[in-house]
């Protein structure tokens, strides 16, 4: 049974305040977790409650922490830790708003995750096992950023994430080995070109490219320099995050000085799909352009994963509607977009039922918290996206999956190509 929940302010990877929740059970067992924060947020997300004013640029989380220490702690005290759904429902009812604006989505998700940690600790088993029970799980296919752009790098390039995926690797361990070689090779290429400028918010190299295609060409070269075969061993994955530069059917590509309509975007991205071994594209159109999504997915969904992030905001209802409309074939699952773990899980399960690819994802503002690594394994999601291959708030998650894989020994499978929602040519 729950004795108390405490909220405290800690700091994230951008040096901004964020919320940590700590659940204490009557037995003395504890569980804690930290809320992440996005920069390129979808309008339908659970609200990240901030204090406003001038302190820390208005981003302090005093109200969200107070909500945990007072209302949430009182409401959950004495409750059984066993039923996550009932506890999450209690949080949702207590908040009472659609956008989670009273308690704050950050207070709610930190609490929801801390409850799971306490339950796993009470059972003395790892978090992923608490979720999976006796079901067999496979290690997720990682989606790892090499160049960061968009809102995470002062919009130096329009595309937000230039990533790679290693579906032909034999194991998660080997996928990271290949990624490390590509990341090193990409850094060496930039250094030689004199354009190495540090790293962006998620640890990918800060881009100094004159076009989006130049980033793609450099990425191709890095894969080759790493001694790997593009397309067969290593594929490219992009998060366009088009809501950041598109609205009302117009897309303003600042880097290239171009303004496109939906069809222009679909044509440009289709051209990239022809020329580069792209396995996955996230938010190719803006969140207010469902017909663009539908046309894009109709044209390219048979050979490319089409992910909805800002478009679906980890909402089971939206996932169901998108499946009916055929506007995506994959869903990004970010617990803090939903507000509770139960809602995030419902979005994932709805996606799986529709035959979607499902990707558990971190945010651009992260911490040492590794809960999502366990969610990806325990929910058997198939894919995991946590940013790049540097900065320890990213590496902590990759390293945690390595430990899980090792603990399973020969039992540990790897999702590889099976994680992707299309058939290989």
The one among 48, 88, 309, 393 contacting Zn ion by CB under 5 A: 309
Interacting span for ligand PGA (CB under 6 A) from 49-57, 97-105, 171-179, 360-368? 360-368
Burial code (b: 16+ CB inside 10 Å, e: under 16) for 148-163 equals bbbbbbeebbbbbbbb
Instruction: Work out what residue 41 binds among Zn ion, ligand PGA, none; the CB cut-off runs from 5 to 8 Å by kind.
Output: ligand PGA
Closer residue to ligand PGA, CB minimum distance, 126 or 246: 246
Kind and range of the H or E element at 126?
none
Instruction: Provide the 3-class DSSP secondary structure of residue 280.
Output: strand
Active site residue 202: yes
* Min CB(364)–ligand PGA separation in Å: 3
Residue 225 labeled ligand binder: no
Asked if residue 276 lies in contact with residue 217, where contact means CB atoms within 8 angstroms, the answer is no
Sign of the torsion angle spanned by Cα atoms 193, 199, 205, 208: negative
Task: Please identify which of the residues 45, 130, 143, 202 carries the catalytic annotation.
Answer: 202
Closer residue to Zn ion, CB minimum distance, 282 or 369: 282
The one among 50, 295, 300, 363 contacting ligand PGA by CB under 6 A: 363
Q: Does 143 bind ligand PGA (CB under 6 A)?
A: no
Residue with tokens 């080997």: 174
How far apart CA 305 and CA 7 sit, in angstroms, is 38
Active site residue 22: no
Rg, Å, the chain Cα set: 21
Asked if residue 347 lies in contact with residue 319, where contact means CB atoms within 8 angstroms, the answer is yes
- CB neighbours (10 Å) of residue 303? 13
Question: Which residue has the closest beta carbon to ligand PGA?
Answer: 38
Asked if residue 116 lies in contact with residue 127, where contact means CB atoms within 8 angstroms, the answer is yes
Residue 136 labeled ligand binder: no
Instruction: Work out what residue 342 binds among Zn ion, ligand PGA, none; the CB cut-off runs from 5 to 8 Å by kind.
Output: none
Residue 309 labeled ligand binder: yes
Residue with tokens 């990271």: 176
Task: Please identify which of the residues 130, 334, 343, 366 carries the catalytic annotation.
Answer: 334
* Min CB(249)–ligand PGA separation in Å: 21
Q: Does 122 bind ligand PGA (CB under 6 A)?
A: no
Q: Does 145 bind ligand PGA (CB under 6 A)?
A: no
Kind and range of the H or E element at 154?
none
The one among 239, 244, 289, 366 contacting Zn ion by CB under 5 A: 239
Task: Give CA separation, 394 vs 12, 314, 321, 388, 424, in Å.
Answer: 12, 21, 32, 7, 30
Task: Give the interface with Zn ion as residue ranges (CB under 5 A).
Answer: 239, 241, 282, 309
Instruction: Give the residue numbers annotated as catalytic, written as ranges.
Output: 202, 334
Annotated binding site for (2R)-2-phosphoglycerate: 160, 334, 363-364, 385
Binding site for ligand PGA (CB under 6 A): 38-41, 160, 239, 241, 309, 361, 363-364
């Amino acid at each position: 049974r729950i004795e108390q929940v405490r909220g405290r302010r800690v700091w994230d990877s951008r040096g901004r305040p964020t919320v940590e929740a700590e659940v204490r059970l009557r037995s003395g067992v504890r569980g804690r977790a930290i809320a992440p924060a996005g920069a390129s947020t979808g309008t339908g997300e659970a609200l990240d409650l901030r204090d406003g004013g001038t302190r820390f640029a208005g981003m302090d989380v005093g109200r969200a922490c107070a909500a945990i220490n007072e209302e949430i702690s009182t409401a959950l005290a004495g409750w059984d830790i066993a039923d996550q759904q009932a506890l999450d429902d209690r949080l949702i009812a207590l908040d009472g708003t659609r956008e989670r604006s009273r308690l704050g989505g950050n207070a709610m998700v930190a609490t929801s995750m801390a409850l799971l940690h306490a339950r796993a600790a009470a059972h003395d088993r790892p978090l992923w096992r608490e979720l999976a029970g006796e079901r067999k799980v496979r290690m997720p296919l990682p989606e790892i950023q090499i160049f960061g752009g968009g809102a995470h790098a002062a919009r130096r390039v329009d595309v937000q994430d230039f990533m790679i995926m290693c579906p032909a690797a034999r194991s998660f361990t080997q996928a990271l080995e290949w990624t490390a070689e590509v990341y090193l090779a990409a850094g060496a290429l930039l250094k030689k070109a004199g354009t190495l400028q540090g790293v962006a918010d998620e640890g990918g190299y800060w881009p100094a490219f004159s076009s989006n295609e130049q980033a793609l060409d450099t990425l191709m070269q890095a894969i080759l320099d790493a001694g790997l075969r593009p397309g067969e061993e290593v594929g490219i994955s992009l998060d366009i995050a088009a809501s950041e530069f598109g609205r009302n059917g117009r897309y303003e590509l600042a880097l290239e000085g171009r303004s496109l309509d939906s069809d222009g975007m679909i044509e440009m991205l289709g051209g990239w799909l022809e020329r580069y071994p792209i396995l996955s594209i996230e938010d190719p159109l803006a969140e207010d352009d469902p017909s663009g999504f539908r046309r894009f997915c109709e044209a390219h969904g048979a050979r490319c994963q089409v992910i909805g992030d800002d478009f679906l905001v980890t909402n089971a209802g939206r996932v169901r509607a998108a499946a009916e409309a055929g506007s995506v074939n994959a869903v990004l699952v970010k617990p803090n977009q939903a507000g509770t773990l139960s809602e995030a899980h419902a979005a994932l399960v709805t996606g799986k039922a529709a035959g979607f690819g499902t990707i558990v994802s971190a945010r651009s503002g992260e911490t040492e918290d590794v809960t999502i690594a366990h969610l990806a394994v325990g929910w058997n999601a198939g894919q995991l996206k946590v940013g790049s291959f540097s900065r320890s708030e990213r590496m902590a998650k990759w390293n945690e999956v390595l430990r899980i894989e090792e603990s399973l020994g020969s039992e540990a499978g790897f999702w590889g190509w099976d994680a992707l929602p299309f058939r290989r040519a």
